[in-house]
A and B are shown apart, each in its own frame.
Chain A
Amino acid sequence: MTSLLEIRNLSFAYEGSTSLVFDHLDLTVNEGEFILIKGPSGSGKSTLLRLICRLNQPQGGSILFQGNDITSITPAKLRSFVSYVAQIPQMVDATVEENLLLPFTFAINAAKTRPGTEELREMLSKFYLPDVSLDQSAMKLSIGQKQRLAIMRALLQNPLLLLLDEPTSALDQESAVMVFSIMEKLNTEHRKTLITVTHVDYKPETVRPLTYTLAQRSLHITS
């Protein structure tokens, strides 16, 4: 059976730098898995996710998605299957609904079914945002609310793989607990494959993740 994602011999250095961030890094992700990547700040956790969705280009090695080298897939098509949610959630200056439906304004998602207003309202409740109305400005939400909205927006595209970059680093404890709970539900209820990078001490309650530590330019399985 082909893995959903396979990283082989990955090497990467930032532009203008000779020191490698990754050297012969390998990772295999199968459908339905919950991958947790831990490591100190600056170890390259975010960079790894950016490489997977082609926001950065590796110097060596290969990344295969469903058996195909990601360089053979157009970035827009790849990102309609692999959704990346950044550490600091970004919203356009528009309503909550317009932000949630933003992916459907892009050509690559034109054929996908747009969720209706009722569906969006239901999802807002599930994402611990019951008091947020669809026609209010997304810019006025708190950072914790924006983070949940950003994850919800990524999920609406129905991606096969969700990449969450330090999803709780900018949040207070209460919001962080909600986001962790959402992540676990995405895996258990929505059957989504997740790769989450974090430097906080997070122990999932309802899922058993495959935990890796990023150290010495490579990944090491810890559980």
Chain B
Amino acid sequence: MNSIINISTGQLLLALVFILIAQISSFIYHLGLNRDIAVGTLRTFSQLFLMGYVLTYILKTTNPWLVLSVFMVMVVSAMFIIKGRVKEKQIPYIIPTFLTMLVSYMATALFVSGLVIGITPWWEPRYFIPAGGMVIGNSMSALAVSLERLFKDMRQQKELVEMKLCLGADYREASLDIFKNAVTAGMIPSINAMMGVGPCIYSRYDVRSDSCRN
């Protein structure tokens, strides 16, 4: 069953019933989330609506610079989202983090589209943009969690880090445990997702195709 299912606007709006449940829950339990949920819903709708039009144009483009510009906008947006989540004001982490994101996302997206999928040209927007989006989307949360944990533990364990520094450790040795914990905290959601990838794919496949049951 490979036919495309057309979803009407009415059907799409039906999904709002879950938002309504969240709104009612927030109202009953006085969670104070009604405004945030409403704003979030509106933003999601308008952004996806706008992106739908923009992507229709971009995915057809033959201009590599436009594709790379879109990629750049995606990385910058991810950086701003991370900046919003990480409450660090003293340590200037933004530029190093942005450069790391740009280089590693670019390398990963290139690897996936150019080598794994093997498309020509490598920047073909129909593949490069979704591949980049997946890489950025998945790693953005991991980065935010890792950075938040790193800065928090550095402050909480300042005396312990200083003790190691005073015993001759360099900055890497002195903060190694904190660094490991931060990376682990960031990677746990991805590892969990990989652990449960079988059942998840099965449930998706189960909905999509009857052939899976044979």
Contact = CB atoms under 8 A, between A and B. Distances in A.
A86 B159 contact: yes
Interface residues of B, number: 12
Interface in A68-119: 74-76, 79-80, 83-86, 88, 90, 92, 102-103, 105-109
Contacts of B169: 76, 106, 108
Interface string B99-129: 0000000000000000000000000000000
A218 to B, nearest CB: 25
B119 to A, nearest CB: 45
B166 interface: yes
B167 A157 contact: yes
B160 A92 contact: yes
A95 B160 CA distance: 16
Interface string B149-166: 000000000011011111
B167 A79 contact: yes
Contacts of A85: 166
Interface in A148-167: 150, 153-154, 157
Contact of A102 (B159, B162, B167, B170): B167
A55 interface: yes
Contact of B168 (A86, A108, A150): A108
Interface of A: 53, 55, 74-76, 79-80, 83-86, 88, 90, 92, 102-103, 105-109, 150, 153-154, 157
Interface of B: 159-160, 162-170, 173
